[in-house]
Structure 1
Amino acid sequence: MIKQFLLSFLILPSCIAIGQELKVATNFESGSARVLSLDQQTQTIRITPAGDPKRGIPNWWYVRIDGINTTIPLVLEVEVREDLIPDELTGQGKKTSPGWTWPAQAALSLDGKTWKQTAEGQKINNRMVYQVQPATGTLWLAWGPPFTPTDALNFVNRISQTYSFAKAFILGRSLEGRQVPALQIAEGSKPADQRPAIWISARHHAWECGGSWVGTGLAEWLVSDNQQARWLRQHAEIFVVPLLDVDHVATGDGGKHGEPQDHNLDWSDQPHWPEVAAAQKRILALANEGRMNIFLDLHNPAPGNKQQTAYVIEKAYMPEKADPRKLRFVDLMIEEFGGLKQNPARPPAENPALFHRVSVPWVLEHSNSNTIAFCIETPWNTPSGTPEGYGIVGQKLGSAVEKLLREEAEKQP
């Protein structure tokens, strides 16, 4: 009897390990994957993004994995989708380059809230392979650190409840009925009509999660005890929209190149997306007050771009008094980042009308004579593509904004 009991005790741990059932879940906000195969013994899971190509480039993936045996590595293999996506310049379909689906390092979380990066993946045949030594029986893996509509709502509520000079508001509701949370920050008794307005917008493209983290990093800096941040919120009024394309983020779709056009190409007199129309309405009101000063649209670039980047609108397409301010802000960004990749922006020869449907040109065409606007792209395919790394970018952008406005204020009689 004793011998049988001891034998049972000795074999029990291996029975538990073998008996676990490895499962993949995506039934949560921003979750996206189609499981192609799952090997219980080797803990190898092969997936591909599950996004609908009509709702944008299908490169985003995000899974929770349960039932993990912590005594052996977990292997996640990611295959690329072969769907054609529209090319707005030519009107033809094109395939997505594999690099858009394969970050060098994936995002990893043990609680679905705090994110770090995996070791670098390995390209093997037609897939990228990430190997993780699991510390728990459940973990989350994603293309990048997710930032969901719920995260956006929680963020603006937390900031507004903590700081009396910050106000949370709902910019509008999306086509599918979701709220678009935003922040308004202004401290002190200076009248609103004497404050230049700064508009910070992130996630015109759903998959570009880094934009949200840059925007929230800027907002966190703005409400901090930093002297520059204090000066800025006391002299300006700042609006932060941490996530514009709430629908495609919520459903785990890519957003970019979505039908009938993505949010960044929807800035016309009759936008398809209600959240774009809501942003336009606010910006036009600020312009009518003569206060629309700086617009920053926060994005992530192509996978091979490792530099902080700004699209710089050519002088011919800038408002009358804006070009010197634009050039000075570029210099200030160079100071902050130690360099800056500058992409000249002008109407493309293939489809010039497309230029005027992009967020930044639209803002410049509908604002004040001194308004400046930039599309800012922060690299994601680097070791700094983390919430902390993105947050530092937000702080530096905030510093550049403050320096420009303070310089201009000090020159006034």
Structure 2
Amino acid sequence: MAGLTLRGIHKAFGDTPVLNNIDLDIADGEFLTLVGPSGCGKSTLLRIIAGLESQDRGSISIGEASVDHLRPHERGVAMVFQNYALYPHMSVFDNIALPLTMTRLNLFERLPLTRHLSLRRRRVMDEIARDVRAVAEQLRIENYFGRRPGQLSGGQRQRVALGRAMVRHPRAFLMDEPLSNLDAKLRVHMRGELTELHARLGVTMIYVTHDQVEAMTMSDRLAVMDHGDILQLGTPTDVYERPASIAVAQFIGSPAINLLPARVGASGQIELLGRTLPIDARNAPTPELMVGVRPEAMRIGSGPCAITCRFRRRENLGSESILHFDLAASPAVAVLCRVGNDTPIPEGEVTLAFEPRDCHLFDGKGRRIEVESRDAAGSRDLRRVGDLR
């Protein structure tokens, strides 16, 4: 096992920049997720770490040693791909054993006719079989050794791909959207399996996904990426509770955060649609701001902060509902509210309330700024600036 260090990683395809001087430190044994929309550069960064792509500038170290000059199989990492990349003509056992046979047997010993001629080959193959069985027992796929990939379900094929990576005992696992081809129920199951696998192995894992639920539920830390930059790096709780920018706030959280236009009044407090909020923003860099409030922080009724909306429709999620509103003062602005299914459905105009401490304040460039608010009891709550990367 080993940590990874990335310094100044830059990559462009022709005149199009893909990664912009990425700096990243990944601790030994950490589960770090690169999350972001399609085309943000996360898969390219993973392939550069694996050695499948070369960076234009920058350096990568695994442990204390630079790996920039090493080929993929020399870096001590194992990659699990989105499409599993299993050999369809080979059995499950042979697919898992392949990395070991390629490294432990020489070219002559890998020829089919030598299996009866080489004593060393038989001894090595016995050792490989023990290693494959040990990994298969951890993944509960030892009963599928004689099958081929086409005879397996998606979840079983994913376990075989994991087994082929695990049997090498790599210093780090690299996973490129490995669950995206599975159905919703199986994705939930495999999320739990991967989390438990990481806990058992204690190995460094770098995971790429565009699914924020995967990123939030599995990671020790996550790096939110967009347009080749890391927008924010932190624990799932930190990124959710203190998004560093509007882009992060909109991507992390489902449904997406509500954004309401506001300004700093003469008193230094926030003015939102004609109402003064108990939030001191006199240190804001610009008078025009955006107030972000997550749908789960909204409630129907009165409160220290409130807006008037018109009900549009309800989205039933079973145990809860997402209520869709239009802002009364600006119908083009949509407002969402997450409520329990026992909440009466409103009609016409309705007041939505939220607490000052649930507000996220962003400047004219979309960056989080520090605000000071007071709750209903008058106590102070300092909302600090999120780290920009």
**What's the TM-score, normalizing by structure 1?**
0.23
More helix by share: 1
More strand by share: 2
**What's the TM-score, normalizing by structure 2?**
0.24
Q: Which has the larger radius of gyration?
A: 2
